[in-house]
Every structure is written in structure tokens, then in C-alpha cells.
Structure 1
């Protein structure tokens, strides 16, 4: 079988595709023929040794996947050969086969295709944990989503609307904002052509958003926080801009506001029952048509480096997936 390998820390062009032995599941493991693997911004950081999680070299990047069970190890009872499943793992998804712990594997909902199944776990898991658990967004409240056309941003929009909130989407181009509108955004801000603070003021009638969802960081963080509503919650998701902002701590004091950290991977590890319940709610919303991942690109395994380069250059709208069997 073929797999992408990161043999030394570096940019995507340092990755290689090599032939490896077929996987054999150990005790408690499920071997899967990977049909699709989701690409996420942390994948860009992990191969450069710039992420919270630091695997040992060499390793295969990629954390979310969907496929078909090819074999099961001793003690596995919840899955059998031929089952269509999705999984979230620490590494290894950018390959034609993977052996995943049984607890990391779940059945694919009926009627779901592999590409969509591979685009759900991290983005929607992160956004559900952020919006529902950490921010406790309520019906009737307003949420501002920065970087709204990315995978987690679109997921946040859909989750906000499923909860009955009003959602303002901010992105860098009108084309990206149109995708946000199609996924339910009530108001749009182009922060390349508009003054962010003035646009937020106009969109909220001067009140400010109750929740700000920020996976971007950089120069937008401070003006956004200065615009937050009284008792607002500012969700720190990540730093796709590449710059970790420094906020004056008098700002949360003046607004009675909260800075709230969001680290879904650690949440899923520490609170597996709560995470499983969240995934069940997401699957229910998907069955009802309230959420649907937007997949803007599909790449063969040999094109993995290009997929990551497009992600790093912020050319991606919604999600892109690797199709390892191509």
C-alpha cells in the first residue's frame, strides 16, 4: 500500500509517497481501506513541528478519514469486515490503509458518501465544542465568525444557525462570503475592503456580537474583541493568519467579557463521553439537513503536498479531501 511520509520537519514539498507493507491490525485495532481523508490546517503545522501535538519522525500525516473495514484485531466487537466507517486518529490518514484503535472508529451514517464523512470529524467537532460547549451560544444571540469560509468557519455558521442564533460571517473575498451566505450566514463582512469595527457595529446595531469565533488570529483579533458585546465570549480556535495576537487585558475587563480557549483534540481525549454525545447531535443535524460539509477540492494521494500548500495559502473554501485509492 502507498502512504505519504513526513521524514523531516518542513513545508509540504518535503513530503514523499512511498510503498509500505499492508497494515495488520493489532489487538483492539480496526484496519481500514481509506477512501477519503480530510485535510485540515493543523496538518500544515504538524509537518513543520509547529503544532501542540508533535509526533516522532517519520510519520504519515492526516487525522480524519472514512473507508471500509478490511480486517479487525483481537477483541474488536463493534466493527466487522466490510463496514463503512469514519475515524479520527492522531496521524496516519494520508495513506491507502490504516490501523486505528476501535474507540477512534464509528459507523458512517446511512446515505453518507466517503468524502463528506471524512470532512466532518475535526471541523464540526471543533466548532460544536466551541460554540455549544465553550460559548454556550443561545437562540437569539449573535455570533461573529472570522475566517468564516474555512472548514471550521462554515461549520460554526451551520451550528450557530442550528441553535437559532444570528450569524455574521467575515472573510477576505466576496466569493468566499457568497459561500458563507449559502451556508446560512445572516450578514456578511469583507474585512479586506471594509473597516472591521465599523462593519461589526453596523451589523449589530452597535451592540456587538455575543460570541466571536476566531480561527484566524493576527490583526483581526483586537478590533474584533473591542467590538464584543457585554458579557461576550471570545473563542480562541487557532491562528491561521500565522500570528498569535496579544490582547490588552483591560479589554475583557471593560466588557465583562471572556477569552475562551478551544482545543477539541484534548477535549475529545479527556471527555470522551461528552464528545461522543456531541458527535451524535452532529450526525442528527446532518440527517436533518441542518449541516452539510462544503467540499471544494479533491486530490489524489500523490497530490497531498499541493493540497496542504493550498490550505497554507488560504486558497481553500470549506474542506478539501485526499482520495488515497486514486
Structure 2
């Protein structure tokens, strides 16, 4: 079978399509024919050895998949050949077939496409964990989402609206602002390209404060990092919660005096570790996501698809930070 592999450290251009042995379903596993694989920012990092997980090479990137069960390993219940499933793989998804733990798989609801199914779990599960467990977001509170037009950003916007919050999105272009408003945001802040000097940083903080109002943001969802962090933190409400989700703009240096002045919390969000440590609570979140999806309150925004042979281009497109919503690679 074919697999798109990272054989050396580097960008998407270093990925190579190779024939490898087809996996088998071991005990507790499902063998899945992959039909779609969503691309996320960890795929950009993992092939450059910049992610916290560094699998031995050769390996395939691709952290979440949708496909059809071809075989069921010993001890597996609840699945059979022919079932349509989705799963988070962490990596290894850009292959024609993959063996995954049955415990990580969920049935893809009827009427939902493989592309949409592949785009659901990582972004929405990250965002529901962030907003519910770490941010303690309440109905009527104000939520500011940085990088609001990306995969996790749009998921956070939709979930914030579903939970009854006033949601403000922050994005870099008017095209992205249109997508964020369509997802339910009450208003949008446009920011420029970092790095920022002191005056530019203050101007961005003033922009946030102007839209948020005197109360500030009860919860800030930061999927960007870099020079955008401090201006956002300056707009946080008294006893607000600042959620650290990702760093495509770089890892910021946070002035801790601001946390004292606002009596606010800075909360790390590591969904993968949460899911491993609290599987029952994570399963409850996933079940809630499926209900919200069925009710039409959330819906994965797949804006671009790439064929399998152009999987590297899909990763490069996400790395450019021009993508809106989710980017998915289709197979078969």
C-alpha cells in the first residue's frame, strides 16, 4: 500500500510517497481503509521535529482520519467490517490503510461525509476541553478567540456561541472575518502581521478593548501566540481565564505583572494528554459534540481538499497561515 512518509527532517517538500507493507488488525485494533485525513498544525511541526512528539522515521504525518473498517482484531466489540469510523491517530494518517486502537474510534454518523468526519475530532475536542474544563466558560460571558478563522478557532467560535457566550473573533484578513461572522461571532477584530513594536502592540490592545468594552474578555482562546499574546492579555477581564492553545506565531514571553493586575488565570490546553488521563470525561465531551453536530450547532468547515498525492501541498498550505477552516486530504 502507499504511504506519504517523512524520511528526513524538513518541510512538506521532503515528504515522499512510498510502498510499504499493509498493516494487520492486532488484538484490540481495527484495520481501517483511510478515505480522508485532516491536516492540522501539528503536522507542520512534526515533520520538522518541532512537535512535542517525535516518532521514529519513517513515519506518515496526519493526525485524524475517517474511513471504512476492513478487519477487526481479537477482543474488539462494537465494530464490524464495513463500518464507517473516525479517529484521532496523532500521526500516521496519510496512508491507504492504518491499524488503530478500537478504543480511539467513533462511528461516523449516516449522512456525514468522510471529509467532514475527518475534520471533527481534533479541533472540536480541543476546543470543548479548552472552554469547558480550562476556561470554565459560562453563558453570558465574553469570549475572545485569536486565530478565529483556523480549524480550532472556528470550532471555538461555534462552541462559544452554542454555550451562550458573546464571541469576538480576531483574524488577519477581511476574508477570514467573513468566515468568523458566519460562524456566529458578534464582532471581529482585524490585526496586522507581527512582529509588533511597542506602539503597534498598544494599538492592538486598544483595538481589543474597544470591541470588548469596559468589562474585557472573560475567556481568551489563544491559538496564535507570539506578539499577539500580550495585547490580548491586556484586554482580559478581572479574574479572566487566558487559554494557551498553540503557537503558530511563536512562543510568547508573558509579562506576569499583567496577571497580577487582572487577577487572571493562564491555563495550558493539552487535549491529547487530557484525553489519555481522563478518558471517561473526554468520551462525555465527544458525545456532547455529536449531539451538537446533530442539532446543527456545530459543523466542520472543510474549505479545501487535496488528493493523496498532494498531501505535502496540503501541509504547506496550512503552514502558510492562509487557510480558513479545515484542510483535508482525500484518498481513494
Which category describes the TM-score, using the shorter chain as reference length? over 0.9
Residue 111 of structure 1 corresponds to: 111
Residue 215 of structure 2 corresponds to: 207
Note the C-alpha offset of 1:204. Answer: 2.1
Residue 80 of structure 1 corresponds to: 80
Residue 232 of structure 2 corresponds to: 224
Residue 53 of structure 2 corresponds to: 53
TM-score by length of 2: 0.96
Distance 2:211 2:189 in 1: 9
Distance 1:75 1:166 in 2: 46
Per-residue Cα deviation, 1:94-138 (whole angstroms, up to 9, x for no partner): 111110011111111222111100001110011111011110100
Residue 242 of structure 2 corresponds to: 234
What RMSD over aligned residues (CA atoms) do the two structures have, in Å? 1.1
| 1:252 to 2:240 alignment | no
TM-score by length of 1: 0.97
Equivalent runs, 1:104-183 vs 2, <5 Å: 104-183=104-183
Residue 270 of structure 1 corresponds to: 277
Gaps of 5+ in 2: 194-199
Residue 94 of structure 1 corresponds to: 94
Distance 2:213 2:26 in 1: 58
Gaps of 5+ in 1: none
SS of the counterpart of 1:229? strand
Distance 1:82 1:270 in 2: 31
Distance 1:152 1:10 in 2: 25
Distance 2:325 2:92 in 1: 22
SS of the counterpart of 2:237? coil
Residue 290 of structure 1, aligned match among 285, 297, 300: 297
Distance 1:324 1:8 in 2: 24
Residue 299 of structure 1, aligned match among 296, 299, 306: 306
Number of aligned residue pairs: give it: 324
Note the C-alpha offset of 1:22. Answer: 2.3
Distance 2:262 2:120 in 1: 34
Note the C-alpha offset of 1:53. Answer: 1.1
SS of the counterpart of 1:232? strand
Which shows bigger deviation, 64-73 or 17-26? 17-26
Distance 1:96 1:114 in 2: 14
Distance 2:178 2:79 in 1: 40
Note the C-alpha offset of 1:26. Answer: 1.1
